[in-house]
Amino acid sequence: MIQIIPAIDIIEGRCVRLSQGDYGRKKVYDASPLDMALAYQDAGIVRLHLVDLDGAKQSAPANLKVLEQLAGRTSMEIEWGGGIKTADALRSVFDSGATYGICGSVAALKPELFREWLIGFGPKVILGADIRDGKVSVNGWLEDTQLSIEELIDLFAADGLGNVICTDISRDGMLQGPAFDLYKDLQQHYDAIDITVSGGISCMADIEKLEELGLRKVIVGKAIYEGRITMKDIERWSLRG
């Protein structure tokens, strides 16, 4: 069964969602990160996706107090992304309670450093591959590289890489459905690696189709905040497992 991983994106300690990664097109939600996390846990969620958008922009984790609070008040696994550019930053994320650290920009710009972390920390390190127009984007989606996602994954496939979160920036926050063919092809090509779908989920039917295509993990954000996927939907899905 495909695992639903709700996303909580944070700016200045508050829940937000961006459209297509544009910081100028953000929507702030009333619920606190802790309130959202506890609601997800009550619905049966076991893994949470936290994104420090301030950290991504300033190249260093900026909302670790939120991470500490959520790790201390819930029993869920937490995967954390945003601002992990140094080994000290990665350790600070783990020390603050994250189960997994998501590294994207370092992997694309300093592959040898990312390889060291992958070998040293093992499956606790997740490759974040954010793509726009077929190319990997870095530094909070503010800069594009010439790497394709396949080229990026191939750099580390032999080094124990176990999980790749692939975000299609063009669809992120747009509620138009994910790039089904992209994710199907990636998962079929990299069977030993979990390809986590991120970007564009609009309803439960999208998740059901991804499961039929063989995907194993999916991140859901705006569809929950906008009421297109309800806590009851998540609870029913969790009970299937």
Tokens of 222: 């705006």
Taking residue 41's Cβ as centre, other Cβ atoms within 10 Å add up to 17
Tokens of 189: 């090509």
9 given a catalytic annotation: yes
220: buried, middle or exposed (CB in 10 Å: 19+, 13-18, 0-12)? buried
Tokens 């992304």 appear where?
A: 81
Question: How many whole angstroms separate alpha carbon 20 and alpha carbon 27?
Answer: 12
Tokens 């508050």 appear where?
A: 14
Which is catalytic among the residues 9, 52, 194, 206?
Answer: 9
159 given a catalytic annotation: no
- DSSP annotation of 139 reads T
Which is catalytic among the residues 130, 168, 172, 206?
Answer: 130
Active site members: 9, 130
